[in-house]
Amino acid sequence: MREQKEVPDHDVYLKTNYFPALDGLRAISVFLVFAVHFGGEMSGTRTGWLGVYVFFVLSGFLITTLLLRERDATGFVSLKAFYIRRSTRLMPVYFLVYLAVMVLSYFSGGQAWSEMKAATPYMLTFLNEFAGSSPLAITWSLGVEWKYYLVWPLLFALFGRTPASSLALALLCLAMTSILLIGNLYPAWFTPWFYFGLILGALIAVAMHSRTLFNRLRGLMTNKAAFIITFVLFVWYRRGDLIEARLGHATLIVVFSLLVGLLMPSLIVNSTYVSRALAWRPFVFIGQRSYAMYLVQVMAVQAVIFVFPGTLFGPFLLFSGLAVALLVADVLYRWFERPIAQWGHRWAKTIKMKQGAGGIQPAPDARLS
């Protein structure tokens, strides 16, 4: 048996711009979401909705890592450039799918059209989680993420000007969310567990960015730790229904998110067998297209049912729907999503060059080392 791949030092991590195992984790997550929606009575599908909370942790980590590195490289965070990157990355495919669903709903008539008309004000203002039942109800998570994108970078630019203040800000937000959850101190329309994973991901990013905390997390970057965490994560997922019944919905989500967070350091540095398995090229391929797959899932399954009338939820519908969604997502990714996102990055880079030192300036560097 080969020895474990050596954990890279902190400087190598800071120079690494791509984490393939995280795309692999996206692939697993999008499969879980498809499974809970279309797997019927297949074993292990009932808690597939937890896959969305994996996306939340990943988003929190990746967004905050970009902000941290931009602050270190340029001395400030350009909010305008950030919102350009996010908008050109997420909005074009979202609105394309929205228009496609509107057209299909109009011609199909009936309940789908009525639901889409009622949901449109929410869909166009990224209040998706309040839109109610519709063919695009699955986009509720995008509404959650957009609120995070609007608020967190602003807080970071204003108050995360040093490594110490970044850590304090992330800890404070996580603590406030935890208090709301534990004490049940939130109104019915606000569900803080949606944001727990996003803030947890941000905290992981801040910790990995610090040389001192990175070294303290090395124990999580071993094969033994990765296997144990993966096993516990799997058991927690498989027993999700029982755990939810006994301990509650919020507990199931929070502990699941924490376990994903504990696994992430080993995936980020790609130092274990688990991380290398997730970095397998087919997983990465699917993970890179997971956003579009998530958006087109209902249309993909409806296409399968149109070709095979009477198809019921179960293995055939799940895997054929996945195949159709992947095919459509690949076309969107190659010819629509990625080209527009790349253009957005060039636009954002131009904005940052024009802003120069005119952004929100940080205090002198006080790296935690």
Residue 224 lies in a domain: yes
Instruction: Say what the pLDDT of residue 190 is.
Output: 53
Residue pLDDT, tens place only, 145-154: 999 999 999 8
In a domain, 369, yes or no: no
| pLDDT the model gives residue 320 | 97
User: What is the DSSP annotation of 35-55?
Assistant: HHHH-TT-TT-TTGGGHHHHH
- DSSP single-letter state for residue 135: T
Residue 360's φ and ψ, nearest 5 degrees, are: -75, 115
**Residue 168 Cα to chain centre, angstroms:** 23
SS3 at position 77: strand
What pLDDT is recorded for position 365? 34
pLDDT at 181: 58
**Is residue 360 helix, strand or coil?**
strand
Q: Which residue has the tokens 């019927």?
A: 40
Give the mean pLDDT of 56-80: 93
Closest CA to 343 of 292, 351, 294: 351
Q: How far apart are CA 313 and CA 302, in angstroms?
A: 11
Q: Cβ contacts of residue 63 below 8 Å, gap of 6+? A: 148, 149, 152, 153, 201, 202, 205
Query: Does the pLDDT of residue 254 top 50, yes or no?
Result: yes
Question: Above 90 in pLDDT, residue 346?
Answer: yes
Cβ proximity of 284 and 23 under 8 Å: yes
Q: Is residue 367 part of a domain?
A: no
Per-residue pLDDT of 164-183, as tens digits, reads 777 777 777 777 666 665 55
Higher pLDDT, 192 or 257: 257
In this prediction, residue 293 carries a pLDDT of 98
Task: State pLDDT tens for residues 116-167.
Answer: 999 999 999 998 988 888 999 999 999 999 999 999 998 998 887 777 777 7
Cβ-proximal residues to 146 (8 Å cutoff; 6+ apart), any chain? 126
Residue 365 included in any domain: no
Identify the CA nearest to 328 among candidates 52, 22, 97: 97
pLDDT category at 360 given cuts 50, 70, 90 is very low
Domain membership flag for residue 163: yes
Say what percent of the chain tops pLDDT 90: 71
Q: What's the total number of domains in the chain?
A: 1
The verdict on residue 4 lying in a domain is no
Say what the pLDDT of residue 183 is.
55
Q: Quote the pLDDT of residue 197.
A: 93
pTM above 0.85, yes or no: yes
Amino acid at 164: A
**Contact partners, residue 249, CB within 8 Å, separation at least 6:** 193
pLDDT in tens, 29-58: 999 999 999 998 887 788 999 999 999 999
- Structural domain includes residue 3: no
pLDDT value, residue 192 = 67
In a domain, 186, yes or no: yes
Rounded distance, CA 208 to CA 217, Å? Answer: 8
Average pLDDT over residues 229-252: 93
- pLDDT at residue number 358: 43
Name the more confident of 286 and 194.
286
Count of other CB atoms within 10 angstroms of residue 103:
11
Mean pLDDT of 56-83: 94
What is the mean pLDDT of the segment spanning 305-329?
Answer: 94
Closest CA to 35 of 43, 289, 284: 43
> Is the separation of the CB atoms in 24 and 283 below 8 Å?
yes
Q: What is the mean pLDDT of residues 209-228?
A: 95
- pLDDT tens string 274-316: 999 999 999 999 999 999 999 999 999 999 999 999 888 999 9
Q: How many residues does the chain have?
A: 369
Domain membership of residue 142 as a residue range: 10-358
Mean pLDDT of the region 205-220: 94
Mean pLDDT, the chain, rounded, equals 88
Minimal CA–CA distance to 258: which of 278, 287, 227, 236?
236
